[in-house]
Chains A and B, each alone.
Chain A
Amino acid sequence: MSTLTSNPTASDQKKRLVSSGALQQILAFASLIILVIFFSIASKNFLQWSNIEGILLSTTVIGILALGTTFVIITGGIDLSIGTGMTLTSVMTGVFIVFLGLPVILGIIGGIVTGALIGFISGFSVSILRIPPFIATLAMMMIAEGLSLVISGASPIYFSDVGGFNNIALGSIFPGSIPNAVLIFFLMVLIGWILLSKTIIGRYTFSIGSNEEATRLSGINVKKWKMIIYTIAGCFTGVAGVIMASRLNSAQPALGMGYELEAIAAVVIGGTSLSGGKGSLIGTMIGALIMSVLTNGLRIMSIPQEWQTVVIGFVILLAVYFDMLRKKDR
Chain B
Amino acid sequence: MSRKILEMQNINKSFPGVRALSNAQLDLHRGEVLALIGENGAGKSTLMKILTGIYQKDDGSIIYDGKEISPVHTKDAQEIGINIIHQELNLMPDLTVAENIFIGREPRDKLNFFLKNKALNQQADKLFQKLNINLNPRTKISELTVAKQQMVEIAKALSFNAKILIMDEPTAALTDKEINTLFDIIHWLKNEGVAIIYISHRMEELKRISDRITVMRDGEYIATLPTETTEIRQVVSLMVGREVKIEQKISDPDAFTDTVLEAHNLHNNYIKNVSFHLKKGEILGFAGLVGAGRTEVARAIFGADPFSGEIKVNGVPVTIKQPVDAVQHGIGYLSEDRKRFGLMLEMTVKENIVISSLANYSTAAFVKPTNMKTDAENYSNKLKVKTPSVNQPVKLLSGGNQQKIVIAKWLLKDSDILIFDEPTRGIDVGAKQEIYDLLEMLANEGKSIIMISSELTEVLRLSDRIMVMNEGRITGELLNRDANQEKIMELATRHN
- Given A203-B106, A215-B103, A219-B73, A5 and B92 touching (CB < 8 A)? no
Evaluate contact between B113 and A206: CB separation under 8 angstroms.
Answer: no
- Given A211-B91, A220-B104, A19 and B143 touching (CB < 8 A)? yes
Evaluate contact between B93 and A200: CB separation under 8 angstroms.
Answer: no
Of B90, B92, B178, B185, the most chain A CB neighbours within 10 A belong to B92
* Chain B residues numbered 140-169 whose CB sits less than 8 Å from any CB in chain A: 140, 142-143, 147-148, 151
Evaluate contact between B103 and A19: CB separation under 8 angstroms.
Answer: no
Contact pattern, A 251-278, Cβ under 8 Å of B = 1, otherwise 0: 0000000000000000000000000011
| Nearest-CB residue, chain B, relative to A11 | B269
CA distance A4 to B99 in the complex (A): 20
Chain A residues with CB under 8 Å of B91's CB are 211, 214
Evaluate contact between A214 and B133: CB separation under 8 angstroms.
Answer: no
CA distance A15 to B115 in the complex (A): 27
Residue from B108, B115, B132 in contact with A3 in the complex, judged by beta carbons closer than 8 Å: B132
Contact pattern, A 219-259, Cβ under 8 Å of B = 1, otherwise 0: 11000000000000000000000000000000000000000
A234 shortest CB reach to chain B, Å: 19
Chain A interface, >50% SS class? helix
Chain A residues with CB under 8 Å of B180's CB are 2
Chain B residues with CB under 8 Å of A199's CB are 113-115
Evaluate contact between A210 and B92: CB separation under 8 angstroms.
Answer: yes
| Nearest-CB residue, chain B, relative to A21 | B94
- Given A1-B181, A4-B151, A12-B143, A209 and B132 touching (CB < 8 A)? no
B391 within 8 A of A: no
Evaluate contact between A206 and B94: CB separation under 8 angstroms.
Answer: yes
- Interface residues of B toward A: which range? 35 or more
Evaluate contact between B181 and A211: CB separation under 8 angstroms.
Answer: no
* Chain A residues numbered 194-218 whose CB sits less than 8 Å from any CB in chain B: 198-203, 206-207, 209-211, 213-218
- Given A2-B181, A12-B143, A217 and B90 touching (CB < 8 A)? yes
| Nearest-CB residue, chain B, relative to A74 | B94
Chain B residues with CB under 8 Å of A214's CB are 90-92
A175 within 8 A of B: no
Chain B residues with CB under 8 Å of A330's CB are 142
CA distance A1 to B182 in the complex (A): 10
CA distance A217 to B166 in the complex (A): 14
Evaluate contact between A218 and B140: CB separation under 8 angstroms.
Answer: no
Evaluate contact between A207 and B142: CB separation under 8 angstroms.
Answer: no
A20 within 8 A of B: yes
B202 within 8 A of A: no
Evaluate contact between B115 and A20: CB separation under 8 angstroms.
Answer: no
- Given A4-B148, A4-B151, A5-B134, A209 and B94 touching (CB < 8 A)? yes
* Chain B residues numbered 437-461 whose CB sits less than 8 Å from any CB in chain A: none
Residue from B74, B114, B143, B147 in contact with A217 in the complex, judged by beta carbons closer than 8 Å: B74
A16 within 8 A of B: yes
Evaluate contact between B132 and A20: CB separation under 8 angstroms.
Answer: no
Chain B residues with CB under 8 Å of A19's CB are 140, 142-143
- Given A199-B115, A219-B74, A210 and B148 touching (CB < 8 A)? no
Residue from B99, B115, B188 in contact with A198 in the complex, judged by beta carbons closer than 8 Å: B115
Contact pattern, A 55-95, Cβ under 8 Å of B = 1, otherwise 0: 00000000000000000000000000000000000000000
CA distance A328 to B352 in the complex (A): 25
Chain B residues with CB under 8 Å of A210's CB are 92-95
* Chain A residues numbered 1-55 whose CB sits less than 8 Å from any CB in chain B: 1-5, 8, 12, 15-16, 19-20
Chain A residues with CB under 8 Å of B112's CB are 200
CA distance A198 to B107 in the complex (A): 12
Residue from B103, B108, B135 in contact with A218 in the complex, judged by beta carbons closer than 8 Å: B103
Chain B residues with CB under 8 Å of A15's CB are 143
Evaluate contact between B103 and A16: CB separation under 8 angstroms.
Answer: no
Chain B residues with CB under 8 Å of A202's CB are 115
B78 within 8 A of A: yes
- Given A3-B132, A4-B133, A200 and B177 touching (CB < 8 A)? no
B136 within 8 A of A: yes
B170 shortest CB reach to chain A, Å: 14
Chain B residues with CB under 8 Å of A215's CB are 92, 103
Chain A residues with CB under 8 Å of B177's CB are 2, 4
B272 within 8 A of A: no
| Nearest-CB residue, chain A, relative to B120 | A203
| Nearest-CB residue, chain B, relative to A213 | B90
B75 within 8 A of A: yes
Chain B residues with CB under 8 Å of A20's CB are 140
B120 shortest CB reach to chain A, Å: 10
- Given A8-B136, A16-B143, A211 and B178 touching (CB < 8 A)? no
CA distance A214 to B86 in the complex (A): 10
Evaluate contact between A219 and B94: CB separation under 8 angstroms.
Answer: no
Chain A residues with CB under 8 Å of B184's CB are 1-2
B192 shortest CB reach to chain A, Å: 14
A271 shortest CB reach to chain B, Å: 13
B180 shortest CB reach to chain A, Å: 6
Evaluate contact between B108 and A200: CB separation under 8 angstroms.
Answer: yes
* Chain A residues numbered 170-207 whose CB sits less than 8 Å from any CB in chain B: 198-203, 206-207
CA distance A83 to B92 in the complex (A): 31
A166 shortest CB reach to chain B, Å: 36
A289 shortest CB reach to chain B, Å: 25
Excluding A203-B115, A218-B104, A220-B104, 8 further A-B contacts by CB distance (< 8 Å) are A1-B188, A2-B177, A5-B133, A5-B135, A200-B106, A201-B113, A203-B95, A214-B91
A-B residue pairs in contact (CB < 8 Å), sample of 17? A1-B181, A4-B148, A4-B178, A4-B181, A16-B139, A200-B106, A200-B115, A203-B95, A210-B94, A211-B92, A211-B93, A215-B103, A218-B103, A219-B73, A219-B75, A277-B92, A277-B93
| Top 7 closest pairs, chain A to chain B, by CB | A219-B75, A210-B92, A277-B94, A214-B90, A210-B94, A1-B132, A3-B134
